[in-house]
Structure 1
Amino acid sequence: MNKRNRIKKNEEFQAVFNKGTSVANRQFVIYMLEKEDQQEMRIGLSVSRKIGKAVVRNQIKRYIRQTFIDLKNVLKQNMDYIIIARKPAAGLDYHETKKSLIHVLKIGKAFTQKI
């Protein structure tokens, strides 16, 4: 992910939380906000210390980023996504993480075509 595709500032996180919609499953909560003037999607990640030590948290973030890279062509591009990992996400491998994220993104109707 390029730096321009990341949400880092607290104000940007708060805007998505306050104005966006949220969908969830057991492992992840995703907040989505459509932005008309934006050409590329941006993602923000939140993985709490309650989930595990730094190694586990960083691994979850890598899995999420890679999943969004893989799904880039089928996701709506003019959106901001904030992904919050829940405790059960710590026990998932990459393929389970991807499957779980696809599930929650389908609930939120974030795809441009059928997957």
Structure 2
Amino acid sequence: MDPSFKLIVDGSEIAEGVLRRAVAPAAVWELERIRRVSGNALIREDSVGIVTRLKVGAAKSRLKFKAGEVAINPADGSLWVFLSDAESRMPLVPLGSVLQGLEGLRSIRRGARLELMVRTG
């Protein structure tokens, strides 16, 4: 069974989703192991993200993403949630998708505390 996750902004649960183990097994396993990543929100026009210390390979990376998809940048470990259909500037590895609450992520402001908490089982 694929693990689910919650996205928490400044202490309030905003969104929920699922990580797809079949797409990026090593990255999903690492997220399951550490259970939680957090940091100041990075804001782009079409996505929000956080810097992590995750190291993943670039296998199965791509440039085009749909709204709600979650991906990781293998170059720097940053984790991104796409708010609309978009094309990334560099290849990212897809990890999963937001199933509910995507609209709430649109109101995140620069510097907000963003946390991804993985639930297993």
Q: What is the TM-score normalised by the length of structure 1? A: 0.34
Query: Which protein has the bigger strand share?
Result: 2
Task: Report the structure, 1 or 2, having the larger helix content.
Answer: 1
TM-score, scaled relative to structure 2: 0.32
